[in-house]
Amino acid sequence: MSRSFLPLNALRAFEASARHVSFTAAATELGVSQAAVSRFVRILEENLGVKLFDRQRNRLELTEVGAALAPELGASFARIEQLMLETKKRGQKTNVLTVGIGPTLAARWLIPRLGRFASSHPHIEIRIATGGAVAPFNEEWTCAVRLGQDPWPGFIADRLFSMDLVLVCSPDVARRLRRPADLANISLLRVRHAPNDWSRWWLAASLPTETFAKLTPGPVFDYYGLAVQAATDGLGAVLAMSAYVEAELAAGRLIAPFPLSIPKIEAWYLIRRPTREHDPSLQLFRNWLREESAMQEASDEQARRSKLGAPSAG
């Protein structure tokens, strides 16, 4: 049967009639007359060359052929309706933003907050590309959230926030740390793209630089998230960005044995090519990121003030 002559109205009339076993009920569902439904079913029977209903005086009865066709036809119509819904949803998501971002910041900071953006801007679809915190900018990205310092040649950049570095370890490891100098006896976990974190903390803690130079280097991880997981598993201590360990500290999976924290030199920036600057969806995303960043910095400032009365790490 040629698709151009597929009797869709007749098929729909038959499917509804078979489901209700009534031309009258089918007509009510389809919003047409009972006579129109009966006529459509008759046309379908003539098209197929088979009887689909045995018509009794006061009732309908499906033939064997009709009983076999009805459920398959119902499933086909249900699938068509589902396809229409999916297509409609895709049509509504006409604005797609691909955001390049490091995997730890994505998992521990951005994604937990994305629900707020999605609820306010349901027509914008955010796609996360975890290309790394310091990897080259992929030109297929709409924008990126990158760790670094001004300037950003070739890009328009908005500073979002910085984070403090806080020393954390598992409760078992924390019991071995009575004073900062005890760090000489445990493994110091490091992040590949942040090689100076530990030396800066050591200096801020007023510990002898010659002691630091004699330390046996600990494992090196590509991302903060991996180093934090290693610390949670008891492999040693790590200097982690404050927002990355909030949940673990609150749950007691990690401990901050000393009150000393140091600011991360680099900050997080939203960067994009100048050709993207007037993209309305990107502007909405940028404004939302600024609001979330302001809340993050306010939270960090409150945490700093709460430590003012804590004893020194020295």
The per-residue pLDDT for 314 is 46
Render 27-74 in DSSP notation, one character per residue. HHHHTS-HHHHHHHHHHHHHHHTS--EEE-SS-EEE-HHHHHHHHHHH
Q: Which pLDDT score, from 0 to 100, does residue 313 have?
A: 46
Residue 308 has pLDDT above 70, yes or no: no
pLDDT of 202 = 93
Q: Which residue carries 């439904």 as its tokens?
A: 37
pLDDT digit string (tens) for 100-124? 999 999 999 999 999 999 999 998 9
User: Which of 94, 117, 104, 105 minimizes the C-alpha distance to 289?
Assistant: 117
**DSSP per-residue string spanning 251-281:** HTSSB--SS-EEE-SSEEEEEE-GGGTT-HH
Identify the pLDDT of residue 84: 83
Upper half-sphere CA count for residue 142 (Cβ side, 13 Å): 20
Segment 11-35 mean pLDDT = 91
For the four alpha carbons of 235, 238, 241 and 246, in that order, the dihedral sign comes to positive
State the pLDDT at residue 8: 86
* Average pLDDT of the residues of the chain: 88
Q: What is the CATH number of domain 95-152+270-302?
A: 3.40.190.10
Q: Which fold has domain 3-91?
A: Arc Repressor Mutant, subunit A (1.10.10)
pLDDT band at 166 (very low <50, low <70, confident <90, very high): very high
Averaged pLDDT, 53-81? 88
Q: Domain extents for the chain?
A: 3-91, 95-152+270-302, 164-265
Average pLDDT over residues 51-63: 87
Residue percentage of the chain with pLDDT more than 70: 91
How far, in Å, CA of 4 to CA of 227, rounded?
Answer: 62
95-152+270-302 with 164-265: one CATH topology? yes
d(CA 268, CA 108): 14
Our CA dihedral for 193, 199, 205, 210, rounded to 10 degrees, sits at 160
Residue 194 confidence (pLDDT) above 50: yes
Find the mean pLDDT for residues 56-61.
83
Containing 97, the helix (H) or strand (E) segment is strand 95-101
Work out the average pLDDT over 165-184. 94
pLDDT at 2: 47
d(CA 86, CA 314): 61
Say whether the peptide bond before residue 151 is cis (omega within 30 degrees of 0): yes
pLDDT at 205: 92
Domain 164-265 belongs in CATH node 3.40.640.10: no
**Does 243 have pLDDT greater than 50?**
yes
User: Quick one: tokens of 70?
Assistant: 């009805």
Q: Which helix (H) or strand (E) holds 241?
A: strand 237-241
Confidence (pLDDT) at 298:
84
Considering only residues 94 and 201, tell me which one the structure prediction assigns the higher pLDDT: 201
Tokens of 295: 């809340």
Q: Residue 99: is its pLDDT beyond 90?
A: yes
The pLDDT of residue 265 is above 60: yes
pLDDT band at 307 (very low <50, low <70, confident <90, very high): low
